[in-house]
Amino acid sequence: MMYDVCVIGSGAGGAPVAYELSCAGFRVIVLEKGKYYRDEDFNKDELAVCRRELFTPNLADEGHIINEIAQDGSISRHVGSEENWSFWNGSMVGGSTNLMSGYFHRMKPNDFRLLSIYGAKEGANIADWAISYEELEPYYEKVERIIGVSGEVVKHTFLEPRSTPNFPHAKLRENSVTKWFDSACGRLNYETLPTPRAILPHANNGRNGCSYSNFCGSYGCATGAKGSARAALLEICDAKIVSEAFVYNLESDAKKITKAYYYDKNLTSQTIEAKIFVVAAQAIESSRLLLNSKNSHFPNGIANNSNQVGKNLLFSAGGSGSGRFSFENLSEVQQKELMQTGLFFNRSLQQWYEYEVSGTKQKGGTIDFLFEHQNIIPRVKREFYDEVGNILWGEALKKKIHKQLTTSRVLTFEVFNDWLPNDNCFVSVDEEIKDKFHMPVGVINLFGHPNDLEVGEYLAQKGVEVLKEMGAEDIGYSISSAPPPNLVAGGCRFGDNPKTSVLDKNCKAHELDNLYVTDASFMPTGGSVPYTWTIYANAFRVAEAIKKSLV
């Protein structure tokens, strides 16, 4: 059967394309490597989800190589399966959107013009986007409605232009400690804003509202409240979804992709023919697929005669910090407020999205505040030692754990700032090691630009100031060039010049008439916010362009 569109990957980059085009009457097939889980399959089993990594591939079967590149150019090679170093995210229908915390910030207009506004940085391959914020704004608004974003728009220095006055869904219920936060920021003259979340506060479009379990990050949502690509799009569209289908090769002639080859769950090779092929397998895997798909027309990999596939890989720079609030320093009312269960701590600071250093504009970022994750194992492990570093046993350990869990709580913050693209951060494929599908594994070459750490440090200090003003104890933070595996972009950047980009402004490969890449791979820079809202928005935008090409 000839399909109109074959979508490879079913997360934030693939699902909007499948949804839009299947709802428009086109024949769409989605090939997803992972399994098809439903709401009822998700629970809060920490051992299964976070310790045994139920939703990500086994590194022994599907590993990768990580090359750490130091500032002096030296390289440390790590085999992921040997060191348990994983860059896999959610491998299932809906992808990692099933497991996200759903912190949804739009990028700002200046994020689209990083080079023009803030200038070049030595050692960084900064490029302006091929589209503007104004072109993407209608699709940000579309995501708010269809995926479901809750929040409250408040005026602040770097509020981005909006076509609607507020979010379509009211903000989620908040823990009373947010009042302490707002008061402390008021005394510091800091602008606070409620953090938008891709979580429904009430039933809508066949999905239930939030149950306030407080297990969002790393866990699937059993109510359907979280705006996953599966719950919000794929389960209500007419696309054919094939799970446990690993696409290992794209076949092409000089101008078009002709077939996609995949292994089904029995490791039997199957083929799909379509008029249009859309790759949205996650940034690292999309580059790996293109690099592994070599032929006489594309000896370096599909769409890679420019040698740009895999280049300029991005992560989210920054880090995290935390502080503890203990009953000893609180009134009885404050103690009750602190221990309110389930309610969110949704507060963000974007006052330093741009700041000055020695009279020069510097791109800054976002600080999101949240309570520490509910996972009990890391919370207990932190209490294994006394004040001088001696390990505790028996009754002493029991008492310390009980006290910390029942009479104190940790507030954390996460810093998001730009990871500057550079020549030493890219995806390649290994010449020797192959996965269970007999395909060369991806090589993740890591290098963080020094500027990333400087900005992260500046923002972290602001987060620390807030915690101090709130009266927290045991305050600490870490800013590192070690990248988070759940925020990956780049590798197939879009642009107007085929020599320096893989895709055109509509995310179609420069060198092929029917190949699109719609996950975060297209991003030349990542902004200073989590990527998911922007991936969704751009995929809806590209779906419109594909629809026009099919008519």
How far CA 142 is from CA of 6, 136, 197, 328, 346, in Å, comes to 23, 10, 15, 47, 22
DSSP 297-311: S-TTSTT-TTS-TTE
Per-residue model confidence as pLDDT tens digits over 164-184: 999 999 999 999 999 999 999
* CATH number, residue 211: 3.50.50.60
Share of the chain above pLDDT 70, in %: 100
pLDDT, tens only, 181-203: 999 999 999 999 999 999 999 99
**What does the alpha-carbon distance between residue 175 and residue 346 come to, in Å, rounded to a whole number?**
9
Instruction: Provide the CA 411 distance to its chain's centre, in angstroms.
Output: 22
Q: What is the mean pLDDT of residues 64-92?
A: 92
Q: What is the pLDDT of residues 311-358, one digit of tens each?
A: 999 999 999 999 999 999 999 999 999 999 999 999 999 999 999 999
CB of 415 closer than 8 Å to CB of 528 = no
Confidence of residue 244 (pLDDT cuts 50, 70, 90): very high
The stretch 507-531 carries a mean pLDDT of 97
Domain that holds residue 337: 2-550
How many other CB atoms are there within 10 angstroms of residue 352's CB atom?
Answer: 22
DSSP string for residues in 506-542: TSBBTT-SSEEE-SGGG-SS-TTS-SHHHHHHHHHHH
Range 323-351 burial, b when 16+ CB lie within 10 A, else e: bbbbbeebeeebbebbeeeebbbbbbbbb
Give, in degrees to the nearest 5, the angle at Cα 74 between 69 and 76.
60
What average pLDDT does range 255-280 have in this prediction? 97
Number of structural domains found in the chain? 1
Cα(400)–Cα(392) distance, integer angstroms = 9
Q: What angle do CA 138, 520, 206 make, to 5 degrees?
A: 60
What is the Cα–Cα distance from 52 to 461, expressed in whole angstroms? 35
pLDDT at 92: 96
Q: Give pLDDT, residue 46.
A: 84
Specify the amino acid at residue 387: E
CB 186 within 8 A of CB 179: no
Structure confidence by residue, pLDDT tens digits, 377-412: 889 898 999 888 889 999 999 999 999 999 999 999
Tell me which H or E stretch contains 184: helix 177-188
Look up the pTM and report it: 0.96
Strands 365-371 and 347-349: antiparallel
Res. 149: pLDDT tops 90: yes
**Half-sphere exposure (Cβ direction) of 48: Cα atoms closer than 13 Å:** 9
Instruction: Please enumerate in sequence order all residues whose Cβ is within 8 A of that of 68, keeping only pairs 6 or more positions apart, or say none.
Output: 75, 76, 78, 446
d(CA 155, CA 25): 41
Decide: 392 and 384 in contact? Cβ < 8 Å.
yes
3-state secondary structure 357-397: ECCEEEECEEEEEEECCCCHHHHHHCCCECCCCCECCHHHH
The pair phi, psi for residue 397, each rounded to 5°, is -65, -45
